[in-house]
Chains A and B, each alone.
Chain A
């Protein structure tokens, strides 16, 4: 094997390998956590976040506009504090509300933003005051049973 051929093969190998890495980085993965610099952070308090996880998407009108960057528990209000990183390209009114929603019946949970009407826009470090907690299936079923039981109780006495 002459030296030129050897160099050529190794060159091709390296180019192909780097190409594969780029393919993985650009086509397969999302660069979200790399582009954190181009985002601004807002926080929101929820009574219950259900199964929400860090890195879950933040959507508005179904479009991904950011990601959940941190989740913590506030032991003063006994609420969950969720920090959202929103894409700098999208500005939201100050009275925007956040809700924890589920994609499909059993799908992953995400944060949905419903834009308000305020003329002042959200800025870095702001806090969303209007929030709607996750729907926890057990609670829902519990409520349903409870209301059924309440419905049934007066009937019984009437008979």
Chain B
């Protein structure tokens, strides 16, 4: 065959392969939703997974949140003082965190901390035939293994994002008010005047729920779909982090465009 034709054929092959993967992922996602009964009827299964997804991600979320907030305080102060409006520091820190950085950075950290762990765990369970064994014991692995992890991720993500934002605002307060000496009253009052519950905070929470669904679903699918070998599992783990990070950023753009277009 002629070279360009070959290239087009390869392109076609890749396109078909990725389309069928997307179809597979969608079916997997729908099956997870449909068979979620067990995750709620036996809620202790979901609680257990919330420990692994949420509680074990706490340290990295809290520490990162603190540092991000401190950097925001420092940089924000440098910029704002040029215009003589240091009193707006609180607004700057709070709005950046609540609208964007909180949900997005917390989700990125969640993807690399909890998402990769979920993929590796499910992939290994598949490679060591634990999922097949479960199926042979007449227990549906999607209902028993996948769905509780999914809901644990969806529950954990907004809580982690809120903790990240709160910690970040505390970090900004620490640097701005305690260290640099911005007036404490104007820090908080300007923040309260400018940050709206519905427009900013609620939309931030909605974002983080969407990110939680995306990251957990991607991590679970990659694990379930991983080739049952050591190499396959490690590749799937990498793919989870890459795919979910891209998904977070793309979804963030779409959501921001919808949510904040009318405001400002």
Q: Do A and B bind each other?
A: yes
Q: Which residues of A contact B (CB under 8 A)?
A: 1, 3, 6-7, 9-10, 12-14, 16-18, 20-21, 23-25, 27-34, 53-55, 57, 64, 106-107
Known: A20-B159, A55-B263. A31 touches B197 (CB 8 A): yes
Instruction: Flag if B201 contacts A25 (CB, 8 Å).
Output: yes
Known: A10-B47, A20-B165, A20-B166. A29 touches B192 (CB 8 A): yes
Chain B residue, CB-CB nearest to A12: B55
Chain B residue, CB-CB nearest to A18: B159
In the assembled complex, the CB of B121 is this many whole angstroms from the nearest CB of chain A, namely: 15
Chain B residues 248-264 with CB under 8 Å of chain A are: 263-264
In the assembled complex, the CB of A66 is this many whole angstroms from the nearest CB of chain B, namely: 13
Instruction: Flag if A24 contacts B166 (CB, 8 Å).
Output: yes
In the assembled complex, the CB of B66 is this many whole angstroms from the nearest CB of chain A, namely: 13
Instruction: Flag if B196 contacts A32 (CB, 8 Å).
Output: yes
Chain A residues within an 8 Å CB radius of B156: 13
In the assembled complex, the CB of B149 is this many whole angstroms from the nearest CB of chain A, namely: 14
How long is the Cα–Cα vector from A17 to B195 in the complex, in angstroms? 19
Instruction: Flag if B54 contacts A29 (CB, 8 Å).
Output: no
Q: Which of A1, A13, A18, A23 contacts B54 (CB 8 A)?
A: A13
7 new A-B pairs (CB below 8 Å) besides A28-B191, A30-B196, A33-B199?
Answer: A13-B58, A18-B159, A20-B163, A28-B94, A29-B197, A30-B195, A32-B196
Tell me whether B50 is interfacial, beta carbon within 8 Å: yes
Chain B residues within an 8 Å CB radius of A27: 188, 192
Most B C-beta atoms less than 10 A away, residue of A9, A28, A64: A28
Interface size counted on chain B using CB atoms at 8 A: 38
In the assembled complex, the CB of A77 is this many whole angstroms from the nearest CB of chain B, namely: 25
Chain B residues 146-161 with CB under 8 Å of chain A are: 155-156, 158-160
Chain A residues within an 8 Å CB radius of B199: 33, 55
Q: Which of B44, B58, B98 contacts A29 (CB 8 A)?
A: B98
Chain B residues within an 8 Å CB radius of A24: 98, 162, 165-166, 169, 201, 204
Tell me whether B48 is interfacial, beta carbon within 8 Å: yes
Tell me whether B200 is interfacial, beta carbon within 8 Å: yes
Most A C-beta atoms less than 10 A away, residue of B50, B98, B158: B50
Chain B residues 221-264 with CB under 8 Å of chain A are: 263-264
Instruction: Flag if A28 contacts B169 (CB, 8 Å).
Output: yes
Chain A residue, CB-CB nearest to B169: A28
